[in-house]
Chain A
């Protein structure tokens, strides 16, 4: 139990005056308000009861619009589903999951609050009791971790006169990978020496398709024994696989790079890694402060992209809900 520390008067006053929802008037709404003002002026000028009636209807519609939009936003629950992969300066698919216990939600627009991410997701109708996934094409202007503070949900329901916004406080980090492009430079020579399946005369077999079975020689790795066939044959048989000509590259990011030079280098390394991994090779990464062991496959590419995304942002607090892409 902690006794609440009393914030300063200015902060309390600001908190007191901060509206729970933000409201902006749309273009249609501005026109509507001008006409309402004109009708009010006409009613006061002439005393025409029908103008008073019309004015009453117009003002009532404003109030009803406020109430309906509030009902639309009140009972929402929002969580981030996130993105599979977000690359800088290109649209990436981003998702939020939204649900409500009762009532309906209409014309909801989702976006990330106070973040450099551009783009919105739209949901026409949200019924109660089931979770809807809202998809958006967002874009990030640069590489690196993007601090997410909340999700903005805006609605122009019911008449499109006002856009009411509610911000759901939701901490998180989106890691934006370096921009995808082409590698102009060669990745350099592959690693030399008995590594992997290349350059080792003792490793005659590889990790490819099954080539056949042969008797296990002395001092050979027992992990390749095919126990079922060995039991049937009465002697130890080893599985032989086709040997793949995979090689190892160790890409490096030079120290001392900053700004655009660092960005360009990160993009280039990412492109080289993608190229090499796509060809089936193993790729490692040497960063100024850490290193990644060489490995192959899509998961290694993701590890490399993550590592590159964090370069230059090591001091940044990832937040409470640090995730790769949400």
Chain B
């Protein structure tokens, strides 16, 4: 066997690696599969073909893996598509490490293709597009080099450079063709159930977006720079950085370990009104990105109305009704990787005299304390407040105390039995949930109603809107102030409220998120409606210019872009026609030849005697020599045919018809001349035909 080209094998393995990455980006593959594949890829790139030596062992390993995946599938611990993708990647790993013969080549490329298809089903991330293109390019190169290598005799070099140029042009055209197909092919959806795409790596399980907030978990969320929310505000504050609270939900019940709500799900509507609107509402158009990973609607403090939600699922965009939960939480009823919706919030100065919008059960819970609360909490609160009973003043006093005497840390020491006491009296350091819980419960011990709120804090300016990162996840306290409703008091030190990630990383990621947003809007969420709008935009007359006079009607003519589109389409059709006619390899039938065919047909119908293979020129010459009356009609006709066919003097319009009419008249005359029997001729005559 010929020794295969190292470059080709490396390209093949890299292509399969990118195909695997297209799936792995979804974050749904088991960790052990990731490990096995990456190990195999590294070995393959180092040209270590382990399976060539241990083929039976590897086949046994595959069998074991198949059984494991099957068990997980039947136990409901794994999606069928994920299991199939995981198995495909294991087969790819095994094939990469086997002897690189023709069968292994084909199977490796096939599993790569299957993995890319699996990635499309599992992931909606923009990285999928990059992986897809990388796989397409590398796999094409590897296949092309393989084809050429098979035809190159042993010992001769493979012309890699010569292969690259035409192939790269071809791949570019293929990518352009893929985009054209994507844009133009009508979106059909038979709406069979498929797997849900995952938000990918970096998805947030933010505090406040599970059903509980549990103290003592790791606080690495603060370092996560993934963008979870984009918002366009009206009126636009115009500031570079917002110091605003984006509330998701509030909690009223604490059992010493975690926060919950006393009230469950309530009504489901297209739009939920939490509290009466004022004259001036702050409108927000919010997009929740896949990295958010929850179903709770987020809005600026204090939300009045939320709804008009659209869920962007892999099968298209659809309306999502919203459901009111306890603690003022509003949830989407449709699960999707991303959502867009509208929210209206009250401005900060509009809270006076506003009702708190609580049911009685919730109001009762505002002073509830855990059963085994450490007595020192109340003592500490009383010691700090020193008799202060006004809720807002007391809350601010306690917040100041906590910010001054307690440190901020994301490091946690396991899960203590009483995390609040641990924070207040032992470690004296914690993250926002500890600060907010401590403040809320210290207020409650003093008879002041309070609850915990979770959401995000901050917002960075980007493209005329604001974006919020996973690291901006935050918890704070709502203090019930008579006559004013709930007022936000934040016990967390101000410098630790926003994202703790690297600034450079945040900038890079912001750029990435902006591109990814475009990708999601124009690729993942592309729909039949978009196609229709694209088509109509090409032919819709232009709107009246802003400075144009009002009495001037819109143009009835199609816009220039419609003309350009028509010209482009006409050019493409013309080129395609040219290509097809050349491809068929047949010369176009000339007009003179058509004319000759018609003359031949007329002569044949009139039974003019003609030798086999006798040309029109020979026939005319012979008839003229014989003094045949048809020669008079045929001579000018033959001359014009020869001029038209070989002399470059084409037949004028109508000339062919005129010549043929003359010929037909001559033929008719000849036929009638034959029909008149000469005198003295008796009986029928036989005619050979």
Cα separation A203 to B150 with both chains bound (whole Å): 64
Stretch at the interface among B178-186, B264-272, B504-512: B178-186
Which residues of chain A are near B185, meaning CB under 8 Å? 52, 56
Chain B residues whose CB sits within 8 angstroms of the CB of A156 once the complex forms: 147
Known A46-B192, A47-B189, A48-B121; contact A157-B147, beta-carbon cutoff 8 A: yes
Contacting pair B615 A125 (CB below 8 A): no
The residues of A that contact B109 with a CB separation of less than 8 Å are 28
When A31-B110, A48-B120 are in contact, do A158 and B189 touch as well, CB less than 8 Å? no
A residues 1-17 in Cβ contact with B at 8 Å: 1-6
User: What residues of B have a CB within 8 angstroms of the CB of A160 in the complex?
Assistant: 143, 146-147
User: Are A108 and B151 in contact, with the CB atoms below 8 A?
Assistant: yes
Chain A residue numbers with a CB within 8 Å of B182 are 49, 52-53, 56
- Assess whether A59 is in contact with B314, with CB atoms less than 8 Å apart: no
Q: Which of A44, A46, A103 has the most CB of B within 10 A?
A: A46
Q: Are B174's CB and A125's CB within 8 A?
A: no
Chain A residues with Cβ under 8 A from B405's Cβ? Answer: none
Which chain A positions have C-beta within 8 A of B167?
68, 158
**In contact, B152 and A64 (Cβ under 8 angstroms):** no
- B160-173: contact bitstring with A at CB < 8 Å (1 yes, 0 no)? 00110111001101
Given A31-B110, A46-B192, residue A57 in contact with residue B121 (CB < 8 A): no
Residue in chain A with minimal CB distance to B610: A3
Which residues from chain B contact A54 at a C-beta distance below 8 Å? 116-117, 120, 132
Q: Does A159 contact B (CB under 8 A)?
A: yes
Q: Please, which residues of chain B bring their CB within 8 A of the CB of A6?
A: 597, 600
**Does B148 sit within 8 A of A, measured CB to CB?**
yes
Contacts of B646 in A (CB 8 A): 1
CA–CA, A45 and B191, complex, Å: 6
| A127–B106 touching, CB < 8 Å | no
Question: A194 interface residue, CB < 8 Å from B?
Answer: no
B585 to chain A, nearest CB (A): 4
On whether A64 and B189 interact (CB within 8 A), knowing A31-B110, A159-B147, the answer reads no
Bound Cα distance from A122 to B132, whole angstroms:
33
* Chain B residues positioned under 8 Å from A32 (CB to CB): 113
CA distance A54 to B117 in the complex (A): 7
Tell which of A34-42, A238-246, A254-262 binds the partner: A34-42
B217 beta carbon closer than 8 Å to chain A: no
Contact indicator per residue, chain B 126-166, by CB within 8 Å of chain A (1) or not (0) = 00110010001000100110111111110010110011011
Minimum CB–CB distance from B494 to chain A (whole Å) comes to 43
Given contacts A47-B316, A60-B175, A159-B143, contact A124 B189 (CB under 8 A): no
Measured in the bound complex, the distance between the Cα atoms of B182 and A57 in whole Å is: 9
The CA of A5 and the CA of B601, in the complex, are separated in Å by: 11
Contact with B along A275-303 (1 / 0, CB 8 A): 00000000000000000000000000000
Min CB distance, A162 to chain B, in Å? 11
Alpha-carbon distance A109/B151, docked complex (angstroms) = 8
**Alpha-carbon gap, A59 to B120, bound state (A):** 16
Note all chain B residues with C-beta closer than 8 A to A108: 151
Bound together, the chains give a CA A63 to CA B576 distance in angstroms of 13
Q: Which residues of A contact B615 (CB under 8 A)?
A: 1-3
Identify which of residues 106-124 in chain B touch chain A, using a CB-to-CB cut-off of 8 Å: 106, 109-110, 113-114, 116-117, 119-121, 123-124
A23 within 8 A of B: no
| Max count, chain A CB within 10 A of own CB: residue among B150, B151, B189 | B151
Considering the chains assembled together, what is the distance between the CA atoms of A308 and B175 in angstroms? 61
A53 to B121, CA, bound (A): 12
Which A residue sits closest to B583, measured CB to CB?
A20
From B382-390, B422-430, B519-527, the one touching the partner chain is B519-527
Taking a contact as CB atoms under 8 Å apart, the answer to whether A4 and B584 are in contact is no
Question: Is there a chain B Cβ closer than 8 Å to A51's Cβ?
Answer: yes
Closest residue of chain A to B596 (Cβ to Cβ) is A3
Tell me whether B524 and A49 are in contact (CB under 8 A): yes
Report A-chain residues with C-beta under 8 Å of the C-beta of B121: 42, 46, 48, 50-51
Q: B593 contacts the other chain (Cβ, under 8 Å)?
A: yes
**A64:B170 contact, CB within 8 angstroms:** yes
B173 contact set on A, CB distance < 8 A:
60, 64, 67
Residues of chain B within 8 A (CB-CB) of A53 are 120, 129, 132, 178, 182, 523
Could you give, for residues 383-422 of chain B, a 1 whenever the CB lies within 8 Å of some chain A CB and a 0 otherwise?
Answer: 0000000000000000000000000000000000000000
A60-B176 Cα distance, complex, nearest whole Å: 8
Chain A hits for B600, CB < 8 A: 3, 6
CB distance from A312 to the nearest CB of B (A): 34
Q: What are the residues of chain A within 8 A of B124 when measuring CB–CB?
A: 50
In the complex, A189 Cα to B197 Cα: how many Å?
Answer: 93
B314–A49 CB distance below 8 A: yes
B177 beta carbon closer than 8 Å to chain A: yes
Contacts of B156 in A (CB 8 A): 124
Tell me the residues in window 74-109 of chain A with beta carbons closer than 8 Å to chain B beta carbons: 103-104, 106-109
Task: Say how far B615's CB is from chain A's closest CB, in angstroms.
Answer: 5
Given contacts A68-B170, A157-B144, contact A107 B136 (CB under 8 A): no
Say yes or no: is A214 at the interface (Cβ < 8 Å to chain B): no
Instruction: Tell whether, in the assembled complex, residue B189 and residue A46 are in contact, meaning their CB atoms are under 8 Å apart.
Output: yes
Q: Within the complex, which residue of A42, A60, A125, A158 is in contact with B177, where a contact is CB–CB below 8 Å?
A: A60
Q: Are A68 and B166 in contact (CB under 8 A)?
A: yes
Question: When A47-B189, A124-B159 are in contact, do A61 and B148 touch as well, CB less than 8 Å?
Answer: no
The verdict on A27 contacting chain B, using a C-beta distance below 8 Å, is yes
Q: Does A71 contact B (CB under 8 A)?
A: yes
CB-CB under 8 A for A158 and B315, given A48-B121, A53-B120, A53-B523: no
Q: Using CB atoms, name the residue of chain A closest to B614.
A: A3
Q: Say yes or no: A46 contacts B136, CB within 8 Å.
A: no
Q: How far is the CB of A164 from chain B (nearest CB, A)?
A: 12
CB closest residue in chain A, given B597: A6
Tell me, in angstroms, the Cα distance from A54 to B119 when the chains sit together.
10
Q: Which residues of B contact A197 (CB under 8 A)?
A: none
For A125, give the chain B residue with the smallest CB separation. Answer: B159
B170 touches A45 (CB 8 A): no
B151–A158 CB distance below 8 A: no
Is A127's CB under 8 angstroms from B642's CB? no
A48 B171 Cβ-Cβ under 8 A: no
Shortest CB–CB separation between residue A99 and chain B, in angstroms? Answer: 16
B315 engages A46 (CB within 8 Å): yes
Q: Determine whether B190 belongs to the interface, using a CB cutoff of 8 Å to chain A.
A: yes
For A1, the chain B residues whose CB sits under 8 A away are: 615, 617, 642, 646
Q: Is the beta-carbon distance between A61 and B113 smaller than 8 angstroms?
A: no
In whole angstroms, what is the CA distance A35 to B110 when docked? Answer: 8
**Top-4 shortest CB links A-B:** A47-B189, A60-B177, A56-B181, A124-B152
Residues on A facing B (Cβ under 8 Å)? 1-6, 20, 27-28, 31-32, 35, 38-39, 42, 44-57, 59-61, 63-65, 67-68, 70-71, 103-104, 106-109, 122-125, 127, 156-160
Measured CB to CB, the residues of B under 8 A from A are: 106, 109-110, 113-114, 116-117, 119-121, 123-124, 128-129, 132, 136, 140, 143-144, 146-153, 156, 158-159, 162-163, 165-167, 170-171, 173-182, 185, 187-192, 194, 197, 314-316, 523-526, 583-585, 593, 596-597, 600, 613, 615-617, 642, 646
Besides the contacts A56-B181, A159-B147, what 6 more A-B pairs have beta carbons closer than 8 Å? A51-B120, A52-B185, A53-B120, A53-B129, A124-B149, A158-B147
A-B contacts, 16 listed (Cβ < 8 Å): A3-B596, A28-B106, A48-B315, A50-B119, A50-B123, A50-B128, A52-B181, A55-B181, A56-B185, A57-B175, A64-B173, A68-B166, A68-B167, A123-B151, A124-B148, A160-B147
